[in-house]
Structure 1
Amino acid sequence: MKPTVDDLVVLADQRDTPRLRSQAVLQLATAEGMVAGYCRGRHVDAVGENRRPGVGEVVLSLACRLLANPQQVQVREQASSVSMLRGEVTVGFTLAEQFVLNRYRKRAL
């Protein structure tokens, strides 16, 4: 399953607006990147097109949580007396999501 913006809007159960759709695109991309980083590329098949079972649902679940609370993704950097936003992610995978993703994660022996 490849999650779409429509899937995310339905799952979020919010009024469909252009702003919500633009946020949904951003949060789907963020969730996809987090899953790809966690699995190190093993979340897709050898061709790189089809997702492995359960991965799309994890992306959709994570994107929905990010859509509900976008402040979870922000970066703070402090240099002397100046504080700047850089990009920190304060959201992680739930235990159930980790069980799905751990099937495809590369691990050291």
Structure 2
Amino acid sequence: MFITYAIVAALMSAVLLVSAGAKFTRPKRLVDQMSTLGLPYRMLPLLGSAQIVGAGGLVIGLWWGALGLAAAVGLTLYFVGAVATHLRASDYRGAPPAAVLTTVSIALIAFRATTF
């Protein structure tokens, strides 16, 4: 299971870093989505930073299992919050990608928990 964790963690980290980059560069599509969700723009750097920290935790978790597990739990909570925010705003197009990332985060918990 460790190899599976390593592969999924690397892929998830890449996705998180790309997403965080978008939160810092603020493309029009993302700014419009934040408006639709009713979130203030000042949240973007905070959300991007959380994604960078989560990606780093997953990677460091390759050597320090407890941190990888904590990062996966934190990312699960982050993406559950994202799904809830999309559903609260009736943004049914934005909820499925967040739900997929929630599922991947839960899988990372399982993969890392079995390799202690």
TM-score range, shorter chain: 0.3 to 0.5
| Greater Rg by CA | 1
So what's the TM-score if we normalise by structure 1? 0.33
TM-score normalised by length of structure 2:
0.31
Point out the structure with the larger helix share: 2
Question: Structure 1 or 2: larger strand share?
Answer: 1
